[in-house]
Chain A
Amino acid sequence: GRLLVVPMDGSHWFTMQMVVEKLIHRGHEVVVVIPEVSWQLGKSLNCTVKTYSISHTLEDLDREFKYLSYTQWKTPEHSIRSFLTGSARGFFELTFSHCRSLFNDKKLVEYLKQRFFDAVFLDPFDVCGLIVAKYFSLPSVIFARGVFCDYLEEGAQCPSLPSYVPRLFSKYTDTMTFKERVWNHLIYIEEHAFCSYFLRTAVEVASEILQTPVTMTDLFSPVSIWLLRTDFVLEFPRPVMPNMVFIGGINCLQKKSLSKEFEAYVNASGEHGIVVFSLGSMVSEIPEKKAMEIAEALGRIPQTVLWRYTGTRPSNLAKNTILVKWLPQNDLLGHPKTRAFITHSGSHGIYEGICNGVPMVMMPLFGDQMDNAKRMETRGAGVTLNVLEMTADDLENALKTVINNKSYKENIMRLSSLHKDRPIEPLDLAVFWVEYVMRHKGAPHLRPAAHDLTWYQYHSLDVIGFLLAIVLTVVFIVFKCCAYGCRKCFGGKGRVKKSHKSKTH
């Protein structure tokens, strides 16, 4: 079949790329549409890659993202609102503007129209894929870790009860105290209120391209299949919809053997083994003071630490700590000598940790990372540190705890065995469902009828109102009848009393 892919840049692409590669390998004609400037997109893809020019440079993108990630080390942005409208604002504005550039390229649009694709495979993060799907009226498959705001509820009609489903960024678990439930509600209400503000550029762009006013819900509701990088070993169980397919841990790959360089490091580590430390591909620098504290803590443990870091080398780096520009994370985590994993708790890293059964020390920075860390912590498989407040002692203690306290290893091994025990590999599942949508031109039989209801119909408010009106009418009539009956029966007395009163007056 013919498939159009509209991906998202950055770490998002790592797992989506695996699916796209497999689809190409299976002989589908794949066209990937990307901006001409990007971090990761389009590299070494054996298919047609179409680029469109954009108005900003890679330096602009780098600067915005660095500002976003750097801010997290200095000033905390605790709520989704402060993050999305604070440090992340500029980054999102750049991202949302891509789609306008795509559609300004008339030749590209014409080319896409002529190709008669069977489906669109997209990352909804920058909204552009959704707009493309709607513009060309193509069935679509979403590939995502989750979506912002309440578009899982609105877009997929998936009920999400604030009583036990914690909101994104709330850092709550599925068991909340009364106070937490109140806050969870307030976050929900806040999301309702500010999301339209946050996404207004995206909606503007969409309305402009589609030449009709649209809402985010309009863009999400035609989606045929939602491939979600969720596994309920990590995520809390919650209501889901039949068109959601869970492929969490899609990156839990077969281990490859280590390169000589890393093999040497691991072998040299002796009985204590190694600790793997990476804050992900997106964070390149840490403020110097923080880096020194981290370096100090790492020097105090007997393990060898492999630290992926591209910033300036901290001056107090101990002998046991090896700085590398890049490391084969999954392969290292899979090595039996690996004792712990220091991670920013991005979802890819977390799933690799679960997959390989390595206890974690988590330093969440932004996005879903706080929530991921919270989930692993409640399952007793890791310790979370606050990057702003942590001292060298904190990090040292956290590392010693997860390494020496047997329960962490046991818990992560239990999660690992549950996670890996599945009837079908997530990658195969993802490929299957993309092909399914291509074969059948969507999956209309999985579309809930809830999409066709207004919000008050969905919640049966009209029915409740109607029944209430009936009950009240009946009560009213009965009451009136009784009152009338009473007056008839005791009519005499009543009148007597009245006249009595008027006399005393």
Chain B
Amino acid sequence: DKLLVVPQDGSHWLSMKEIVEHLSERGHDIMVLVPEVNLLLGESKYYRRKIFSVTYSLEELQTRFRTFGNNHFLPGASLMGPLREYRNNMIVVDMFFSNCQSLLKDSATLSFLRENKFDALFTDPAMPCGVILAEYLNLPSVYLFRGFPCSLEHMLGQSPSPVSYVPRFYTKFSDHMTFPQRLANFIVNILENYLYYCLYSKYEIIASDLLKRDVSLPSLHQNSLWLLRYDFVFEYPRPVMPNMIFLGGINCKKKGKLTQEFEAYVNASGEHGIVVFSLGSMVSEIPEKKAMEIAEALGRIPQTVLWRYTGTRPSNLAKNTILVKWLPQNDLLGHPKTRAFITHSGSHGIYEGICNGVPMVMMPLFGDQMDNAKRMETRGAGVTLNVLEMTADDLENALKTVINNKSYKENIMRLSSLHKDRPIEPLDLAVFWVEYVMRHKGAPHLRPAAHDLTWYQYHSLDVIGFLLAIVLTVVFIVFKCCAYGCRKCFGGKGRVKKSHKSKTH
């Protein structure tokens, strides 16, 4: 069958790529729609690429990503934090919008896609370009998603999210909140609607242009299947919908063997073992002062540290710390000599940590990372550091704690055993559901009727209003009747009184 893939560049692509490759191995004909300037969407034997042109250069793309990454180390007032975070995200998000704009105006590419009769479309809906395209090409679609601000999947998928125990993005709350936290969560929930508007209203305009009708973006998401990179070992339990499939830990695949280089490092580490340190594929540089502090802390522990870092080598780097441009993260984490994992707590890294049962020291930077770190912390499987404020001592203490305090290892092993105990591998599940949508042209029987209701109907406000009106009417009538009855019964007296009054007057 023919599958069109509209990916999201950056780390999001990493898990989608695995599914796509697996689908290709099963004999599906796959085409990936790729902007000519991109980071990770390279050529592959598993799929063909359809390239469309964009208005920015590779240099600009790299500069934007670098700025985006580096900005997280800027010190700043916490009050303006969310706003700065938003602006910083927009550096990258704006670029994706321009890329979508170019695609939807590229009539040659669009007609090429139309003529290639695809069976389904597979996309990451963080940026809804693929969603709009699915509507335009009239294709059933499957989404792969981790969650982005706004709890997009639940907002658009119609799962109820009680603010009382479902913490919102960026709040760093757990599912047990105090009254002030619930209050804040309530307000953030309201702000999320505004954020959604800020992020996506532009897309409605280009979608309306393309489809030649007024488009409301949420209505385009109604018939899809959501493959969510969730696992409730990590995520807090909450209401979900039948068209959501949970694939958390899809990247926890079988370990490969270490290369000779890394094998040598690990063997040389002796009884103390190693610590794996990576801030993910998106962060390339750390401000020099911060890097030196980190290097100092790393020098103080007995373990060998493998640090994936592409920036300038800190001058005070200790002997036990080895800088590498790239490391086989999952394979290293799976090695029995690995004692801890220093991570930016991106979802891929966290799941690999859970999968391999390695306690974590977390330095969240942006996006869902603060929330991820919070979740691991509440489960006693890691320690979170604030990258802006942390000192060398903090990092040293955090590392010694997770390595020497047995409870961290026990907790992460418990999570790991729960996480890996599942009836079917997430990768197989993902492949199954993409194929399902291709076979059945979507999954309309999983579409909740909630999509057909207005918000006040959904919350039954009209029904409640109606019932209230009836109750009030009845109360009113009963009251009037009583009043009338009273007047009849005690009428004489009343009149007497009145006449009495008028007399005295």
Contact A463/B457 with A163-B450, A237-B446 known, Cβ cut-off 8 Å: no
Which residue of the partner chain, among A161, A175, A450, contacts B458 with CB atoms under 8 Å? A161
In the bound complex, do residue A164 and residue B448 qualify as a contact, i.e. CB atoms below 8 Å apart? yes
The answer to the question of A178 belonging to the interface, with a C-beta cut-off of 8 Å to chain B, is yes
The answer to the question of A440 belonging to the interface, with a C-beta cut-off of 8 Å to chain B, is yes
Contacts of B440 in A (CB 8 A): 417-418, 421
Contacts of B236 in A (CB 8 A): 448-449
Which residue of the partner chain, among B159, B165, B237, B449, contacts A458 with CB atoms under 8 Å? B165
In the bound complex, do residue A445 and residue B460 qualify as a contact, i.e. CB atoms below 8 Å apart? no
Contacts of B463 in A (CB 8 A): 162-163, 178, 181-182, 185
The answer to the question of B284 belonging to the interface, with a C-beta cut-off of 8 Å to chain A, is no
Contact A159/B162 with A164-B458, A181-B460, A241-B240 known, Cβ cut-off 8 Å: yes
Roughly how many angstroms separate A419 CA and B418 CA in the complex, as a whole number?
Answer: 29
Contacts of B242 in A (CB 8 A): 232, 237-238, 240, 246
Contact A440/B160 with A159-B239, A423-B424, A446-B237 known, Cβ cut-off 8 Å: no
Contacts of B428 in A (CB 8 A): 423
The answer to the question of B112 belonging to the interface, with a C-beta cut-off of 8 Å to chain A, is no
The answer to the question of A261 belonging to the interface, with a C-beta cut-off of 8 Å to chain B, is no
Q: Mark A233-257, 1 if CB is under 8 A from B, else 0.
A: 1001111111100100000000000
The answer to the question of B429 belonging to the interface, with a C-beta cut-off of 8 Å to chain A, is yes
The residue on A at minimum CB distance from B234 is A445
In the bound complex, do residue B448 and residue A163 qualify as a contact, i.e. CB atoms below 8 Å apart? no
Roughly how many angstroms separate A471 CA and B232 CA in the complex, as a whole number?
Answer: 38
Contacts of B162 in A (CB 8 A): 159, 450, 458-460
Contact A241/B460 with A161-B450, A457-B182, A460-B163 known, Cβ cut-off 8 Å: no
In the bound complex, do residue A185 and residue B240 qualify as a contact, i.e. CB atoms below 8 Å apart? no
Q: Mark A430-464, 1 if CB is under 8 A from B, else 0.
A: 00110010011001011111101100011110111
The residue on A at minimum CB distance from B419 is A445
Contacting A at CB under 8 A, from B453-505, are 453, 457-460, 462-464, 466-467
Contact A449/B458 with A233-B445, A439-B421, A467-B186 known, Cβ cut-off 8 Å: no
Q: Mark B423-453, 1 if CB is under 8 A from A, else 0.
A: 1100011001100100110010111111011
Contact A460/B458 with A175-B449, A449-B237 known, Cβ cut-off 8 Å: no
The answer to the question of A331 belonging to the interface, with a C-beta cut-off of 8 Å to chain B, is no
In the bound complex, do residue B241 and residue A463 qualify as a contact, i.e. CB atoms below 8 Å apart? no
Closest Cβ–Cβ distance, residue B248 to chain A (whole Å): 11
In the bound complex, do residue A237 and residue B448 qualify as a contact, i.e. CB atoms below 8 Å apart? yes
Roughly how many angstroms separate A440 CA and B433 CA in the complex, as a whole number?
Answer: 28
Closest Cβ–Cβ distance, residue B207 to chain A (whole Å): 25
Contacts of A443 in B (CB 8 A): 418
Roughly how many angstroms separate A162 CA and B179 CA in the complex, as a whole number?
Answer: 28
In the bound complex, do residue A164 and residue B453 qualify as a contact, i.e. CB atoms below 8 Å apart? yes
Which residue of the partner chain, among B175, B233, B443, B460, contacts A162 with CB atoms under 8 Å? B460
Which residue of the partner chain, among B163, B175, B240, B453, contacts A239 with CB atoms under 8 Å? B240
Closest Cβ–Cβ distance, residue A66 to chain B (whole Å): 38
In the bound complex, do residue B237 and residue A161 qualify as a contact, i.e. CB atoms below 8 Å apart? no
Closest Cβ–Cβ distance, residue B312 to chain A (whole Å): 42
In the bound complex, do residue B432 and residue A174 qualify as a contact, i.e. CB atoms below 8 Å apart? no
Roughly how many angstroms separate A448 CA and B161 CA in the complex, as a whole number?
Answer: 12
In the bound complex, do residue B240 and residue A164 qualify as a contact, i.e. CB atoms below 8 Å apart? no
The residue on B at minimum CB distance from A449 is B175
Which residue of the partner chain, among B233, B239, B423, contacts A432 with CB atoms under 8 Å? B423
Contacts of B179 in A (CB 8 A): 462-463, 466
Contacts of B71 in A (CB 8 A): none
Contacts of B182 in A (CB 8 A): 457, 460, 462-463
Contact A239/B239 with A174-B449, A453-B165, A460-B162 known, Cβ cut-off 8 Å: yes
Contacts of A246 in B (CB 8 A): 242
Contacts of A449 in B (CB 8 A): 165, 175-176, 236-237
The answer to the question of B243 belonging to the interface, with a C-beta cut-off of 8 Å to chain A, is yes
The residue on A at minimum CB distance from B175 is A449
Closest Cβ–Cβ distance, residue B213 to chain A (whole Å): 24
Roughly how many angstroms separate A430 CA and B176 CA in the complex, as a whole number?
Answer: 30
The residue on B at minimum CB distance from A430 is B423
Contacts of A428 in B (CB 8 A): 423
Q: How many residues of B contact A (CB 8 A)?
A: 55
Contacts of B467 in A (CB 8 A): 182, 185-186
Which residue of the partner chain, among A440, A447, A457, contacts B164 with CB atoms under 8 Å? A457
Closest Cβ–Cβ distance, residue A456 to chain B (whole Å): 9
Which residue of the partner chain, among B163, B239, B418, B449, contacts A440 with CB atoms under 8 Å? B418
The answer to the question of A317 belonging to the interface, with a C-beta cut-off of 8 Å to chain B, is no
The answer to the question of B238 belonging to the interface, with a C-beta cut-off of 8 Å to chain A, is yes
Contacts of A466 in B (CB 8 A): 179, 183
Closest Cβ–Cβ distance, residue A121 to chain B (whole Å): 17
Q: Mark B383-404, 1 if CB is under 8 A from A, else 0.
A: 0000000000000000000000
> Which of A175, A238, A458 has the largest number of chain B CB atoms within 10 A?
A238
In the bound complex, do residue B460 and residue A185 qualify as a contact, i.e. CB atoms below 8 Å apart? yes
In the bound complex, do residue A174 and residue B448 qualify as a contact, i.e. CB atoms below 8 Å apart? yes
Closest Cβ–Cβ distance, residue B416 to chain A (whole Å): 12
Q: Mark A401-420, 1 if CB is under 8 A from B, else 0.
A: 00000000000000101100
Q: Mark B226-237, 1 if CB is under 8 A from A, else 0.
A: 000000110011
Contacting A at CB under 8 A, from B179-207, are 179, 182-183, 186
Closest Cβ–Cβ distance, residue A431 to chain B (whole Å): 9
In the bound complex, do residue B163 and residue A452 qualify as a contact, i.e. CB atoms below 8 Å apart? no
Contacts of B164 in A (CB 8 A): 450, 453, 457-460, 463
The residue on B at minimum CB distance from A246 is B242
In the bound complex, do residue B160 and residue A159 qualify as a contact, i.e. CB atoms below 8 Å apart? yes
The answer to the question of A112 belonging to the interface, with a C-beta cut-off of 8 Å to chain B, is no
The residue on A at minimum CB distance from B457 is A163
In the bound complex, do residue A158 and residue B418 qualify as a contact, i.e. CB atoms below 8 Å apart? no
Contacts of A447 in B (CB 8 A): 237
Roughly how many angstroms separate A13 CA and B385 CA in the complex, as a whole number?
Answer: 54
Roughly how many angstroms separate A467 CA and B189 CA in the complex, as a whole number?
Answer: 14
In the bound complex, do residue B459 and residue A423 qualify as a contact, i.e. CB atoms below 8 Å apart? no
Roughly how many angstroms separate A178 CA and B162 CA in the complex, as a whole number?
Answer: 25
Closest Cβ–Cβ distance, residue B179 to chain A (whole Å): 7
Roughly how many angstroms separate A171 CA and B386 CA in the complex, as a whole number?
Answer: 56
Contacts of A182 in B (CB 8 A): 463, 466-467
Which residue of the partner chain, among B175, B186, B432, B446, contacts A423 with CB atoms under 8 Å? B432
In the bound complex, do residue A463 and residue B240 qualify as a contact, i.e. CB atoms below 8 Å apart? no
In the bound complex, do residue B460 and residue A421 qualify as a contact, i.e. CB atoms below 8 Å apart? no
In the bound complex, do residue A164 and residue B450 qualify as a contact, i.e. CB atoms below 8 Å apart? yes
Closest Cβ–Cβ distance, residue B419 to chain A (whole Å): 9
Closest Cβ–Cβ distance, residue B294 to chain A (whole Å): 33
The residue on A at minimum CB distance from B230 is A242
The answer to the question of A323 belonging to the interface, with a C-beta cut-off of 8 Å to chain B, is no
Roughly how many angstroms separate A417 CA and B417 CA in the complex, as a whole number?
Answer: 35
The residue on B at minimum CB distance from A453 is B164
Closest Cβ–Cβ distance, residue A466 to chain B (whole Å): 7
Contacts of A453 in B (CB 8 A): 164-165
Contacts of B415 in A (CB 8 A): 445
The answer to the question of A424 belonging to the interface, with a C-beta cut-off of 8 Å to chain B, is yes
Contacts of B447 in A (CB 8 A): 237
The residue on B at minimum CB distance from A241 is B239
Closest Cβ–Cβ distance, residue A248 to chain B (whole Å): 11
The answer to the question of A283 belonging to the interface, with a C-beta cut-off of 8 Å to chain B, is no
3 tightest Cβ-Cβ pairs between the two chains A and B: A449-B175, A174-B449, A159-B160
- 5 other contacts beyond A159-B160, A161-B450, A242-B246, with CB at 8 A cut-off? A161-B160, A174-B448, A185-B467, A424-B424, A448-B165
A contact set with B: CB distance below 8 Å: 158-159, 161-164, 174-175, 178, 181-182, 185-186, 232-233, 236-243, 246, 415, 417-418, 421, 423-424, 428-429, 432-433, 436, 439-440, 443, 445-450, 452-453, 457-460, 462-464, 466-467
* A to B CB contacts below 8 Å, 8 in the list: A161-B459, A163-B458, A164-B453, A239-B239, A241-B237, A440-B421, A463-B164, A463-B183
B contact set with A: CB distance below 8 Å: 158-160, 162-165, 175-176, 179, 182-183, 186, 232-233, 236-243, 246, 415, 417-418, 421, 423-424, 428-429, 432-433, 436, 439-440, 443, 445-450, 452-453, 457-460, 462-464, 466-467
